[in-house]
Structure 1
């Protein structure tokens, strides 16, 4: 694999992303174009989509991961309650973190094709976004926007954008706020492999190690199947490229 493509795949470069001027977030150019078109459609319906998290590099994801593994950040159960890491095995900790946070090197945010959104028209400028299931539930503050978006996705009118974690498949918790530009994301996902991720994690220099890496590498087949590989059936079939 070409070095630049490898660096892009694992979030080791930001050469493939550009600035979204409203939010200040970095996005893949094709994903940004799709989002701009979707935003125009949404504005006509009274919504104001805003990206709150776009490109996230390997190092940023590693910091998040290690903070959770060390207990500096809370690790949550399915109900959103903090778990007690001192009562858990390394394997259990890894899988608990993966429920809500991507493995460094395997985050779709590395590609810039994936991003998290809110409806800025639904809240004030001082609103503290949490990206919780309650916010995006039908009755939540962003519910009306996501119900509108459900209809657009189902009709194939979402400009190539879809939700890779729309349902609970026993891995990543559902994330209604997470959108992905399907044509490019599918291609990049096909370049990933279990061994490539293991090699990337083991290749980290001593002061940039991924916490619990020994456990991660040993359990990679299960981790890859449950938390990384979005099945082909989840990708929309009724879309076209820009």
Structure 2
């Protein structure tokens, strides 16, 4: 078992991370497998680049606050904007959680998860959106999505949001390093998350804590299992 503590699991420390040659922060055990995966993809003409890797609690809380207050767009599964200020209660949380994790509960805190795109498929000035359409049949990153589905397991990676299961939307760009991430998820719990949020309040704190157990089951532990 790969043991860790609450600070690692909830994004409150960076001591488990290293920085690769491209400046990407990764869990120390992920850097070498990810480099091997990128090298293999490049041999097939796919230039993997990282849109997001490690994300701290503070950074996730900033994203959460912006979406909760309506300052940052909240999208539905069709890529359409949701008028978040017209929602209240659990419905508001569900709209945000479709694509954005609770601070303290993002898999990006662990340094095991990355959002990827193919730089070889677009021009240098391309404005990345990270939407399903970009990775669909007619999107620029369809070849990358197919390649990851076929080859990522060989390097220890899997797609935790390969399909929609009633929680987080399908995210074909989101790759996770199975040997570490699955151990970390096994050590995570609603009680641990509750303790973190009590020490570091977020937007909608009372509402989140009221529904925390249900949110945990639907949006945190509810992933597509590794192959």
- TM above 0.5, one fold? yes
Seen in structure 2, the aligned counterparts of structure 1 residues 20 and 138 have a Cα distance that, compared at 3 Å, is farther
Q: Any unmatched runs of 5+ in structure 2?
A: none
Aligned match of 1:219: 211
Aligned match of 2:164: 168
Q: Any unmatched runs of 5+ in structure 1?
A: 237-242
Match of 2:182 among 159, 183, 186: 186
- Distance in 1 (CA, whole Å) between partners of 2:30 and 2:24 is 12
- Distance in 2 (CA, whole Å) between partners of 1:28 and 1:211 is 28
CA contact (8 A) 2:17 2:25 kept: yes
Give, in angstroms, the shift of residue 228 of structure 1: 0.3
Q: Aligned pair count?
A: 225
- Distance in 2 (CA, whole Å) between partners of 1:76 and 1:145 is 23
RMSD: 1.6
- Distance in 1 (CA, whole Å) between partners of 2:131 and 2:31 is 24
CA contact (8 A) 1:31 1:114 kept: no
Does the alignment pair 1:10 with 2:2?
Answer: no
- Distance in 1 (CA, whole Å) between partners of 2:116 and 2:193 is 27
Give, in angstroms, the shift of residue 90 of structure 1: 2.3
CA contact (8 A) 1:138 1:147 kept: no
Seen in structure 2, the aligned counterparts of structure 1 residues 37 and 230 have a Cα distance that, compared at 3 Å, is farther
Query: Given the two structures, how large is their TM-score scaled by the length of structure 1?
Result: 0.88
1:84-163 map, 5 Å: 84-153=83-152, 156-157=153-154, 159-163=155-159
Give, in angstroms, the shift of residue 29 of structure 1: 2.0
